[in-house]
Amino acid sequence: MNWMDLLRMSSGNLKRRKLRTFLTVLGVIIGTTSIVVMISLGLGMQKEIYKEIEQSGGLNTITVSGVSAGDSMIYYGDGDSEESTKRLTDSVVDELAKLPHVTLAYPQYDMSVILLKGPYEGWAQLTALTPEGMLAQNIELTPGARLPEPGSKLELLYGNGVITQFTEKGSQLGYYETGEIADIDLSKDSLFLILDQEGYYESQEQSGTAIGTDTEGTGENDSTPVKPVQKYSVLSCGVTAGDYETYTSQYYNVYCDLDTLKQVLKKEFSGRAIPGQPTTKSGKPYKDFTYSSIQVKVDDIEEVEAVSSVIRSMGYNTSTNVEYMDSMKSQLAIIQAVLGGIGAISLLVAAIGIANTMMMSIYERTKEIGVIKVLGCSLKNIKQMFLMEAAFIGFIGGAAGCILSYGLSAIINFVTGHGEAMGFTGNISYIPIWLVFAAMGFAVFVGMAAGYFPALRAMKLSPLAAIRNE
């Protein structure tokens, strides 16, 4: 008996009991769909994490931190190590840039600022970078937007979520209280920037009191007027990609040119320490400007840990996306195992259904099996025929399950707003082509495994007893 004969007989036997075959296949469809959809959720999360890492510099970037600089309250480095006492200055940037395997080293300075526009005020995280550093950040821009350029006047690139940080000056109500964003077009409007937050809030507190009120009848004022803070008119370079309902790695950030910001800060805080900059024991500012961190790009991912070790030996703290990636991989592996296990239970139930179907088929075709044996059909052919039937059930159910999985995946992504409901910017469910082939192969394997013992039973039937069977 050749393979075509086996194929014809197997398909014919399945057609004979259409309803039972359909119900068995339906079980495989449900099982396959469960596995594919569950695993696709884990793959969707993994894909978004990879995308976020790529936007923050990729796997070959090392973040170097030293003594605190800036008032952003961001700590870079290994959480188990003590904070470095070394400052990150221009000389350190040059030193790190000369290390083996380092292709680029650029400074970054972070500080909190206040933005004003008409009746609105908002808090923002200002990130100052060099032009090279800005390009290395892989910032996605909206049409018409550009990166800030060096010059005598500050230019700002706004994150797509900065608009949500604006509140009304009087009521202090904003997007998170009212659900409505401020009437500001960050892609075009010119705003006022305040770098001296402490001075601004002091002036606000004093303006809220009755300045000049004589509480004791002395004819003198109790308060000393606070010098108004400097307001800088800044131009807009545009907004990063995405709307205010789509979270990205640049969501709350505002970007500007580093050298331009340094000039403005040194001018405004001339003769006194810039807020957030480290000072000497006597409280005087250092001559050199101290950065919040230095981003170091390595030419090969394999050399990241080695370069990081060298930098740590120099007395600085380091952190890498590789460390973050390894941590997330272990967590994602657990999530995918749990999700895949839930789907596998459905396929296990389907396997029991296949075994039951094949066993019932043997009882119904006992006489047929006996006749085939008497005619000289080998035991191997009988085994292959039943395994082929089970494989058919697995293949049909697997293929239909994968098609159904694509439909359910599309529905999940639509309902969750392409993952925005769960904090993702892309699709929460992602089905790569390899998952489809793997699912179909697994379904066929499960079908054949479930049909193996019924096939052995068919082989062991006595020809004479089978022929006598009614």
How confident is the model over 29-34, as a mean pLDDT? 88
pLDDT confidence tier of residue 374, bands split at 50, 70 and 90: low
Judgement on whether residues 152 and 285 belong to the same structural domain of the protein? yes
Select from 258, 278, 299 the last residue of a domain: 299
- Asked which of 27-31, 43-47, 148-152 is least confident by mean pLDDT, the reply is 43-47
pLDDT of residue 193: 92
Q: Is residue 211 a part of any domain in this protein?
A: no
Judgement on whether residues 87 and 132 belong to the same structural domain of the protein? yes
Judgement on whether residues 172 and 258 belong to the same structural domain of the protein? yes
In the predicted model, is pLDDT for residue 16 greater than 90? no
Q: Is residue 254 a part of any domain in this protein?
A: yes
CA distances from 318 to 48, 83, 175 (A): 24, 10, 36
In the predicted model, is pLDDT for residue 206 greater than 70? no
pLDDT of residue 332: 74
Q: Is residue 156 a part of any domain in this protein?
A: yes
Select from 280, 299, 318 the last residue of a domain: 299
Provide the mean pLDDT of the chain: 79
Higher-confidence position of 37 and 73: 37
Q: Is residue 456 a part of any domain in this protein?
A: yes
Residue of 69, 85, 108, 62 lying closest to 314 (CA atoms):
85
Judgement on whether residues 129 and 247 belong to the same structural domain of the protein? yes
pLDDT of residue 171: 84
pLDDT confidence tier of residue 164, bands split at 50, 70 and 90: very high
Judgement on whether residues 144 and 270 belong to the same structural domain of the protein? yes
pLDDT of residue 258: 94
pLDDT of residue 162: 93
Q: Is residue 203 a part of any domain in this protein?
A: no
pLDDT confidence tier of residue 279, bands split at 50, 70 and 90: confident
Judgement on whether residues 30 and 80 belong to the same structural domain of the protein? no
| Range(s) of the domain holding residue 10 | 3-53+328-468
Judgement on whether residues 143 and 174 belong to the same structural domain of the protein? yes
The fraction of the chain above a pLDDT of 90, given in percent, is: 24
Q: Is residue 310 a part of any domain in this protein?
A: no
Burial readout 139-162 (b: 16 or more C-beta within 10 A, e: otherwise): beeeeebebbeeeeebbbbbbbbb
Higher-confidence position of 74 and 131: 131
Judgement on whether residues 362 and 461 belong to the same structural domain of the protein? yes
Judgement on whether residues 146 and 80 belong to the same structural domain of the protein? yes
- pLDDT tens-digit profile of 248-260? 778 889 999 999 9
- pLDDT tens-digit profile of 55-103? 666 678 889 988 665 544 333 444 444 445 688 999 999 999 999 999 9
Q: Which residues are paired to 295 by β-bridges?
A: 63, 106
In the predicted model, is pLDDT for residue 268 greater than 70? yes
Q: Is the pTM of this model over 0.75?
A: no
Q: Which residue, chain included where needed, has tokens 């293949």?
A: 395
Rg (CA), the chain: 34
- pLDDT tens-digit profile of 326-345? 777 777 778 777 877 877 78
Judgement on whether residues 85 and 160 belong to the same structural domain of the protein? yes
Higher-confidence position of 285 and 73: 285
In the predicted model, is pLDDT for residue 191 greater than 90? yes
In the predicted model, is pLDDT for residue 149 greater than 50? yes
Tokens of 426: 């892309």
The DSSP output letter for 457 is H
pLDDT of residue 96: 94
Q: Is residue 216 a part of any domain in this protein?
A: no
How confident is the model over 128-146, as a mean pLDDT? 90
Judgement on whether residues 174 and 113 belong to the same structural domain of the protein? yes
How are beta strands 120-129 and 253-257 bridged, if at all? parallel
pLDDT of residue 74: 39
pLDDT of residue 72: 40
Per the structure, the count of domains in the chain is 2
d(CA 256, CA 242): 19
Q: Is 172 left (phi over 0), alpha (psi -120 to 50) or beta?
A: left
- pLDDT tens-digit profile of 300-321? 888 888 999 999 999 898 888 7
pLDDT of residue 216: 43
How confident is the model over 385-390, as a mean pLDDT? 80
Judgement on whether residues 389 and 333 belong to the same structural domain of the protein? yes
Tokens of 427: 């699709």
Q: Is residue 443 a part of any domain in this protein?
A: yes
d(CA 165, CA 80): 33
- pLDDT tens-digit profile of 398-410? 999 999 999 999 8
